[in-house]
C-alpha cells in the first residue's frame, strides 16, 4: 500500500435530503471538522477537499460520498507543510489578507473572503459600531428634521391670519417716563396693525396683533448685539446661544413663557434730551426681535416703527432699503403706482423713511405716515404675490 498522501476531489454534491446529512457526517469524521463545516465544503462542489489522507482512507471516503449521491475521484497530492490556524486538521489555502495568518477553504467559504476569524471579528465589531454610529446620526437627523418641520409649521401658521398673533414686548431699562411712554404707545401700534391689515384684507381680523408688555426689567449685563450679519453659520449659531442665555433670566424675572407667544420683542429703552433714536435686528421668519430706542418727551414714533419693523421681520418680511438706508424702488414704496412715483406721502415700514426724491427722504412724524407696502403685504400673506 502506498504511503503517499491523497485528496478527494469532490465533483458533485449530494442532493438535499437525508443522504446529504450522511455525506456531511462522513466528511466531518474523515477530516476532523465540525459537521456544519463539512456541509459547507459539500455545498462548494466541485473542489478538492483540504486535507491529505492515506489512499485507503481517501477511497473509503469517496465510496461513502458516492453512496450518498455525490461524485468525485481520488487524486495523489503532496502533503502541505502548513495548517490552518483555526482548523488544525485542514491544510491552508494561503494567508489572511489582513494579518497573514494561515487560513483554509472552510475559512474562505464561511466568510466570503480570505480572512481569519480574529480579523473577521474585528471587522464585524467595526461594522456594528459603524452601523450604530450611522443609526445614532440618522436618529439625531430625523429628530432635528421633525423638530425643524414642527417649528417651521408653527411659524408658517402665524401668517394664515385666522387668529390674532400674541406678541410679548419686554422693556429693558429703568422704570422711568421713557418706558411709560413706550408702554402707553402699544395700543396705538395695535391700532396701526389693524388699520394696515384691514386695508389689504377688509374682511380680515379686527385686531390681527395683540401686544403684551412686560417690565421694565434691568438686565445684569448689556444684551449681546450682532456685529456682522454676514458672519458664517457657526458664528450665528454661537450668537443665538449667547442671546438665548441672556434672555432666559429676563423671561424668568417677568414670568414670561416664550412658548405662549408667536414672537418676542425686547426693547432697550433709553431716556434722553438729544432727540429720538431707534434701531433693531431680527431674523426673517424667526421669533425674536431686538430694538434699541431713545424716547424724548411723548414722541415714541421711531421706537414703535422699529417694533413694527422687527415684528414683520419675524413674520417673513425683508428689508427694503439700500446700503445708504433709502427706499429701494419699487419694493420700498407704499404707493408704487403713483405717477410721478416720487415724492411719496408715507414711509414703508420695512424702510422707515418717507421717500421724497431719489436717494433722499425724511423720517415719519407719526404712525399715520407709516404704512405697509404691497411687497411687504405679500411677504406676510396679507396680499397675493
Q: Which three cell numbers stand for residue 324?
A: 445708504
Alpha-carbon distance of 357 to 341, in angstroms, equals: 9
Alpha-carbon distance of 79 to 81, in angstroms, equals: 6
pLDDT attached to residue 149: 65
Who wins on pLDDT, 347 or 230? 347
Check: CB of residue 310 under 8 Å from CB of residue 192. Answer: no
pLDDT attached to residue 217: 93
Q: In Å, what is the CA distance from 153 to each residue of 145, 150, 160?
A: 12, 5, 11
Strand-pairing partners, residue 291, are: 267, 280
Contacts of 69 (CB under 8 A, 6+ apart): 14, 15, 19, 20, 23
Q: Which of 42-46, 230-234, 283-287 has the lowest mean pLDDT?
A: 230-234
**Average of pLDDT values for 341-369?**
94
Among 29-38, 170-179, 369-378, the range with the most confident prediction by mean pLDDT is 369-378
Say what the pTM is: 0.66
3-class secondary structure, 140: helix
pLDDT attached to residue 152: 65
**pLDDT, tens only, 56-104:** 998 999 998 998 888 999 998 877 678 888 899 998 888 999 998 999 9
pLDDT over 60 at 1, yes or no: no
Q: Quickly count: other Cβ atoms within 10 Å of residue 229's Cβ.
A: 8
pLDDT attached to residue 2: 44
pLDDT attached to residue 18: 82
pLDDT attached to residue 272: 65
Q: How far apart are the first and last CA of the chain?
A: 100
pLDDT attached to residue 296: 80
Percent of the chain past pLDDT 70, that is, above it, reads: 94
**pLDDT, tens only, 132-178:** 888 888 887 777 676 666 666 777 789 999 999 999 999 999 888 88
**pLDDT-derived band of residue 230, with 50, 70 and 90 as boundaries?**
low
pLDDT over 50 at 214, yes or no: yes
**pLDDT-derived band of residue 308, with 50, 70 and 90 as boundaries?**
very high
pLDDT attached to residue 150: 63
Among 11-25, 114-128, 276-290, 334-348, the range with the most confident prediction by mean pLDDT is 334-348
Ranges of beta strands (E only) in 40-157 are 47-48, 71-76
Q: Which of 72-81, 117-126, 349-358 has the lowest mean pLDDT?
A: 72-81
pLDDT attached to residue 231: 61
Would you mind telling me the total number of residues written for the chain in this entry?
385
Q: Which three cell numbers stand for residue 191?
A: 391700532
Q: Quickly count: other Cβ atoms within 10 Å of residue 244's Cβ.
A: 12
Contacts of 18 (CB under 8 A, 6+ apart): none
Q: Quickly count: other Cβ atoms within 10 Å of residue 165's Cβ.
A: 20
Domains in the chain, start-ordered, CATH in brackets?
A: 1-79 (3.30.1390.10), 87-158 (no CATH), 164-316 (3.40.390), 324-385 (no CATH)
3-class secondary structure, 75: strand
Amino acid at each position: 500500500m502506498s504511503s503517499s498522501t491523497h485528496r478527494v476531489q469532490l465533483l458533485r454534491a449530494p442532493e438535499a435530503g437525508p443522504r446529504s446529512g450522511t455525506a456531511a457526517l462522513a466528511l466531518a469524521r474523515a477530516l476532523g471538522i465540525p459537521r456544519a463545516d463539512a456541509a459547507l465544503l459539500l455545498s462548494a462542489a466541485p473542489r478538492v477537499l483540504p486535507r491529505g489522507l492515506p489512499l485507503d482512507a481517501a477511497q473509503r471516503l469517496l465510496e461513502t460520498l458516492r453512496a450518498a449521491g455525490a461524485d468525485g475521484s481520488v487524486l495523489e497530492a503532496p502533503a502541505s507543510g502548513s495548517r490552518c490556524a483555526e482548523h488544525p486538521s485542514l491544510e491552508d489555502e494561503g494567508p489572511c489578507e489582513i494579518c497573514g495568518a494561515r487560513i483554509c477553504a472552510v475559512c474562505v467559504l464561511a466568510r466570503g473572503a480570505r480572512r481569519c476569524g480574529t480579523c473577521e471579528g474585528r471587522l464585524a465589531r467595526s461594522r456594528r459600531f459603524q452601523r450604530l454610529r450611522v443609526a445614532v446620526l440618522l436618529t439625531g437627523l430625523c429628530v432635528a428634521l421633525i423638530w425643524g418641520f414642527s417649528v417651521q409649521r408653527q411659524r408658517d401658521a402665524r401668517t394664515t391670519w385666522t387668529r390674532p398673533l400674541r406678541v410679548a414686548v419686554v422693556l429693558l431699562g429703568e422704570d422711568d417716563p421713557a418706558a411709560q411712554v413706550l408702554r402707553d404707545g402699544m395700543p396705538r401700534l395695535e391700532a396701526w396693525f389693524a388699520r394696515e391689515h384691514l386695508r389689504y384684507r377688509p374682511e380680515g381680523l379686527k385686531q390681527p396683533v395683540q401686544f403684551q408688555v412686560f417690565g421694565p426689567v434691568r438686565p445684569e449685563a448689556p444684551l449681546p448685539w450682532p456685529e456682522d450679519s454676514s458672519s458664517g453659520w457657526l458664528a450665528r449659531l454661537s450668537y443665538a446661544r449667547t442671546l438665548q442665555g441672556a434672555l432666559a433670566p429676563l423671561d424668568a424675572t417677568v414670568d414670561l413663557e416664550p412658548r405662549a407667544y408667536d414672537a418676542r420683542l425686547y426693547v432697550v429703552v433709553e431716556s434722553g434730551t438729544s432727540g429720538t433714536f431707534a434701531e433693531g435686528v431680527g431674523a426673517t421668519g424667526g421669533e425674536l426681535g431686538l430694538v434699541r430706542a431713545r424716547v424724548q418727551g411723548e414722541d415714541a414714533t421711531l421706537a414703535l416703527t422699529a417694533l413694527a419693523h422687527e415684528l414683520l421681520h419675524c413674520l417673513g418680511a425683508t428689508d427694503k432699503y439700500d446700503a445708504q438706508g433709502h427706499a429701494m424702488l419699487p419694493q420700498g414704496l407704499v404707493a408704487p403706482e403713483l405717477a410721478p412715483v416720487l415724492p411719496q406721502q408715507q414711509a414703508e415700514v420695512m424702510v422707515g423713511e418717507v421717500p421724497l426724491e431719489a436717494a433722499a427722504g425724511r423720517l415719519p412724524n407719526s404712525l399715520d405716515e407709516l404704512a405697509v407696502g404691497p411687497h411687504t403685504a405679500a411677504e406676510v400673506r396679507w396680499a397675493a404675490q
